[in-house]
């Protein structure tokens, strides 16, 4: 008994890094040429999709039509092959109609995203943010829980939190935070900003961690470092080595430096400059633009995760000695002033021996009541 098997799978177009993968598998006994034509069409669609979309949004409709044509060809084949499969063809027709709408919307969104990234380069830094991380950088919309365990819940189990001493559990949480291999690009970027800020604080600068504390409203400036009459507006990019910094990122930094000079500069004696740090390289054009605009840049910077990350801060209001861990709420709002006896240390035990206690969880309810 001759059995003809038809396996037809149509998977909706998926956007991956700006490329489109159209996976249409058609396997038919004795019809290899048909499969070959489908694969050739797939390669053509992929080539068009991988080209930079710089035309008007009508490109989205055109690309959706191309994909729909492929599905229509499959539907037509199923209806008119030697042993017609009308039910399968009907199913393909329904799926193809829905798929065309989705494909059009996906292409249009890609076009819009490319346009937004050109206008606002900092958007790229938030592509890989998880929902949980987004909560930490967005303005609070409600009163937070007062549970101290929540501050270390990502790094300690409830059992560890109950069993270990204060010093042991906070040190274990810190060690796990520092050595975590699964940080998102955004979290890794924040670590890099903090490291660069630490290096400037060591040189006597007062540093505002604007990117980490302002989140989505950082305006393209991660750090503001001040020493006497010098002000540095610093942008940090911890990118993979294969990526490249382009001129739009230099323009963005130059723009925010200019805005600072026009609006926030405190006196005429201040000298304001832009500084760009990255773990990867700048394109040649980006370097030329930086030189022309007098933006200082540093390429292929190394991140040393072994630097001391516990901030030992002394309250200016009460004189209370408090240490902050990297995952504490006020960590990025604290700037270390060494002349006041503040410092960075590596171990929780070291901070406690110096008379510092860990920061309590900050309550937004207290802010609303005007508590200090």
Closest CA to 326 of 132, 94, 148, 171: 171
* Per-residue pLDDT tens over the stretch 12-38: 333 333 333 334 334 433 445 655 665
> Given this model, what pLDDT does residue 133 score?
55
pLDDT digits (tens, 9 = 90+) for 117-135: 666 665 666 555 555 555 5
- How many Å separate Cα 126 from the centre of its chain? 3
- Whole-angstrom Cα distance, residue 303 to residue 306? 9
- Burial level of 23, CB count in 10 A (0-12/13-18/19+)? exposed
Q: Are 361 and 329 in contact (CB under 8 A)?
A: yes
Render pLDDT for 70-106 as a digit per residue (tens, 0 to 9).
888 888 888 888 888 888 889 988 998 888 888 888 8
pLDDT confidence of residue 221: 79
Nearest to residue 132, comparing CAs of 109, 110, 150, 159?
A: 150
For residues 230-250, average pLDDT = 93
List phi, psi (to 5°) of 183.
Answer: -70, 145
- Output the average pLDDT for the chain: 78
Higher per-residue confidence, 217 vs 296: 296
């Amino acid at each position: 008994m001759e059995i003809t098997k038809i396996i037809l799978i149509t998977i909706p177009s998926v956007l991956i890094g700006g490329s489109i993968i159209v996976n249409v598998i058609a396997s038919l006994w004795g019809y290899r040429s048909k499969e070959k034509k489908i694969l050739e069409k797939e390669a053509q669609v992929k080539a068009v999709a991988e080209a930079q979309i710089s035309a008007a949004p009508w490109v989205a409709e055109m690309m959706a039509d191309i994909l729909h044509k492929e599905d229509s060809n499959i539907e037509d084949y199923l209806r008119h092959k030697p042993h017609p499969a009308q039910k399968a063809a009907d199913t393909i027709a329904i799926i193809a109609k829905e798929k065309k709408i989705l494909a059009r919307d996906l292409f249009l969104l890609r076009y819009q995203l490319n346009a937004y990234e050109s206008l606002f380069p900092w958007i790229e830094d938030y592509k890989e943010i998880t929902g949980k991380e987004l909560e930490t950088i967005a303005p609070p919309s409600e009163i937070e829980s007062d549970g101290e365990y929540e501050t270390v819940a990502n790094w300690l189990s409830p059992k560890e939190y109950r069993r270990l001493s204060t010093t042991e559990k906070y040190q274990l949480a810190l060690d796990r935070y520092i050595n975590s291999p699964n940080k998102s690009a955004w979290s890794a970027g924040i670590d890099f900003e903090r490291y660069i800020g630490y290096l400037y604080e060591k040189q006597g600068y007062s540093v505002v961690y604007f990117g980490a504390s302002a989140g989505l409203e950082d305006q393209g400036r991660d750090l503001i470092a001040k020493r006497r009459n010098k002000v540095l507006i610093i942008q940090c990019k911890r990118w993979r080595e294969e990526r490249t910094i382009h001129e739009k990122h230099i323009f963005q930094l130059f723009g925010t430096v200019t805005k600072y000079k026009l609006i926030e500069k405190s006196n005429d004696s201040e000298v304001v400059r832009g500084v760009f740090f990255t773990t990867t390289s700048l394109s040649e054009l980006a370097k030329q633009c930086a030189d022309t605009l007098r933006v200082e840049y540093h390429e292929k910077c190394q991140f040393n995760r072994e630097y001391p990350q516990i901030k030992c801060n002394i309250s200016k209001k009460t004189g209370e000695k408090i240490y902050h861990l990297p995952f504490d709420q006020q960590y990025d709002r604290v700037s270390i002033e060494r002349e006041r006896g503040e410092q960075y240390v590596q171990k929780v035990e070291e901070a406690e021996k110096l008379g510092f206690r860990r920061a309590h969880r900050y309550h937004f309810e207290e802010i609303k009541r005007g508590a200090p």
